[in-house]
């Protein structure tokens, strides 16, 4: 029987509903400099001999990609800097004011692996590391990690160290693959209203995009979220401690107990409302009820300050309206979805283009007239 290995990932993109840091009581540091330099020398030699066997065109393409990455890093430096943050290790700090919807970071992966493999994970990761430049190799080994086997020594067990780094920092790059993004990996975690940026993977460009979902002031830390935080503080903290070995102390988790309970009630309400909305697919509720639930989710989210996933929510409402043959409501919800997708995934994204097209031809929606024709509420009704 073939053994299948699952490559863990620490982050999931916005499209998959879970958009993550790193103080961590059990986070380990990079190997000592002499050891790291020795690794880099070995990798450089391996790269040299590997590149001698590659076609000239491949080397040219790789050089062009590296030049693009250099440009992206230079652009990043005008927006944020990576700094040491007490209790968190390193984090990303805005060096100027950032507007909601602005692209904060674009990054190509160092390498991408399948989510499930039938070979040794350590061997596969080691093979990909051997193809990196010394600079990229240093980027990888400079990342934090958790859950390193306690009976091993990170100074000597480089394959296990690489696996721990990958499992701690890997990000989904589609349905069946995960990748490593060294700059994006510096984003720390915030719950609910505390996180201010979200990220998405763009398959066509082969690039991860990070957008601001609210205005960010100069000097403020950029935070994303490592999990679905629409759950009580105790559950969030327990998950983050188990998965990433840190006790969350974001602004939401640090609220006084009474205010924290109020926040928990709102977040649990949003989660319950999402489940109710999903029942429209099975015909348990009608279109009017479904749209009223969407509006209630929006309202509770505004009270909580939870602004993520609104593009998808409005697009789902447009789906319901189209299914019930209500062109005016479809148009209105598609317009709102276009606005929020613009903030969350970019004005040049496929989602925004889809919502614009839907506004010009609501009848072209895949779900059009698939349910009984009724009038359903618009966002402002």
Residues 239-260, mean pLDDT to the nearest whole number: 96
Residue 201 domain flag: yes
Residue 96 domain flag: yes
Residue 14 domain flag: no
Three-state secondary structure readout of 189-207: ECCHHHCCEEEEEECCCCE
The count of residues in the chain is: 381
Residues 30 and 141 sit within 8 Å (Cβ to Cβ): yes
The answer on 322 and 220 residing in a single domain is no
pLDDT at 37: 35
Which pairs with CB-CB distance under 8 Å and at least 24 residues apart come from 351-360?
A: 351/311, 351/315, 354/315, 355/315, 355/318, 358/318, 358/322, 358/330, 358/331, 358/334, 359/331, 359/334, 359/335
pTM: 0.82
Structure tokens at 257: 């107990």
Q: How confident is the model at residue 6 (pLDDT cuts 50, 70, 90)?
A: low
pLDDT at 26: 27
Residues 242-270, mean pLDDT to the nearest whole number: 97
The answer on 195 and 76 residing in a single domain is yes
Domain edge (last residue) among 215, 244, 273: 244
Domain edge (last residue) among 217, 244, 271: 244
Residue 358 domain flag: yes
Residue 46 domain flag: no
| Residue 50 vs residue 349, higher pLDDT | 349
The answer on 291 and 231 residing in a single domain is no
Lowest mean pLDDT among 27-31, 187-191, 215-219, 336-340: 27-31
The answer on 171 and 115 residing in a single domain is yes
What percent of the chain has a predicted confidence (pLDDT) above 90?
A: 75
The count of domains in the chain is 2
Lowest mean pLDDT among 46-50, 196-200, 340-344, 377-381: 46-50
- The Cα 359–Cα 345 span in angstroms is 19
The answer on 267 and 129 residing in a single domain is no
The answer on 227 and 79 residing in a single domain is yes
pLDDT at 217: 98
- Return the CATH number at 141: 2.170.270.10
The answer on 172 and 115 residing in a single domain is yes
Q: Which among 125, 123, 136, 113 has a CA at the least distance from the CA of 44?
A: 136
pLDDT at 38: 37
The answer on 339 and 197 residing in a single domain is no
The answer on 177 and 326 residing in a single domain is no
Number of Cβ within a 10 Å radius of residue 30: 17
- Give the domain range for residue 125: 66-244
Residues 106-116, mean pLDDT to the nearest whole number: 95
Buried b (16+ CB within 10 A) or exposed e, 289-316: bbbbbbbebbebbeebebbbbbbbbbbb
The answer on 271 and 167 residing in a single domain is no
Interacting residues of 199 by C-beta distance below 8 A, sequence separation 6+: 11, 13, 14, 19, 105, 171, 184, 187, 208, 209, 210, 211, 224
The answer on 204 and 111 residing in a single domain is yes
pLDDT by residue (tens digit) across 128-163? 999 999 999 999 999 999 989 999 999 899 999 999
Residue 374 domain flag: no
Structure tokens at 256: 């006084």
pLDDT at 188: 96
User: Does 313 have pLDDT greater than 60?
Assistant: yes
Q: How confident is the model at residue 10 (pLDDT cuts 50, 70, 90)?
A: low
Which residue, chain included where needed, has tokens 């400099």? 33
The answer on 334 and 205 residing in a single domain is no
Residue 334 domain flag: yes
pLDDT by residue (tens digit) across 319-374? 999 999 999 999 999 999 999 999 999 999 999 999 999 999 999 999 999 999 99
């Amino acid at each position: 029987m073939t053994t299948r290995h699952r490559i863990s990932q620490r982050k999931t993109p916005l499209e998959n509903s879970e958009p993550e840091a790193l103080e961590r009581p059990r986070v380990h540091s990079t190997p000592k400099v002499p050891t790291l330099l020795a690794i880099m020398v070995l990798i450089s030699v391996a790269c040299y001999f590997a590149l001698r066997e590659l076609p000239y065109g491949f080397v040219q393409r790789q050089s062009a990609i590296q030049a693009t990455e250099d440009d992206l890093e230079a652009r990043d430096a005008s927006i944020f800097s990576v700094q040491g943050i007490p209790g968190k290790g390193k984090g990303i700090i805005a060096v100027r004011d950032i507007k909601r919807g602005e692209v904060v970071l674009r990054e190509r992966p160092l390498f991408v692996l399948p989510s499930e493999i039938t070979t040794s994970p350590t061997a596969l990761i080691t093979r990909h590391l051997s193809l990196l430049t010394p600079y990229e190799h240093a980027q990888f080994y400079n990342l934090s990690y958790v859950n390193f086997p306690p009976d091993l020594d990170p100074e000597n067990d480089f394959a296990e160290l690489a696996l721990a780094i990958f499992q701690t920092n890997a990000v989904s790059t589609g349905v069946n693959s995960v990748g490593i993004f060294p700059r994006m990996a510096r984003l720390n975690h915030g719950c609910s209203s505390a996180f201010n940026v979200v990220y998405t993977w763009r398959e066509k460009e082969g690039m991860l995009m990070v957008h601001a979902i609210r205005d960010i002031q100069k000097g403020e830390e950029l935070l994303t979220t490592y999990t679905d935080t629409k759950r009580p503080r105790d559950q969030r903290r327990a998950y983050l401690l188990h998965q990433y070995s840190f006790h969350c102390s974001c602004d939401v988790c640090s609220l006084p107990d009474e205010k924290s309970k109020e926040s928990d009630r709102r977040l649990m309400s949003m989660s319950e409302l999402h489940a109710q909305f999903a029942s429209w697919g099975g015909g348990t509720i009608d279109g009017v009820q479904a749209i009223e639930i969407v509006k209630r989710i929006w309202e509770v989210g505004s009270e909580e300050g939870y602004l993520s996933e609104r593009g998808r929510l409005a697009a789902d409402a447009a789906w319901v309206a189209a299914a019930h043959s209500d062109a005016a409501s479809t148009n209105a919800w598609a317009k709102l979805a276009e606005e929020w997708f613009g903030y969350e995934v970019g004005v040049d994204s496929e989602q925004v283009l889809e919502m614009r097209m839907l506004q010009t031809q609501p009848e072209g929606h895949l779900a059009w007239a698939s349910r009984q024709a009724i009038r359903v509420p618009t966002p402002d009704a």
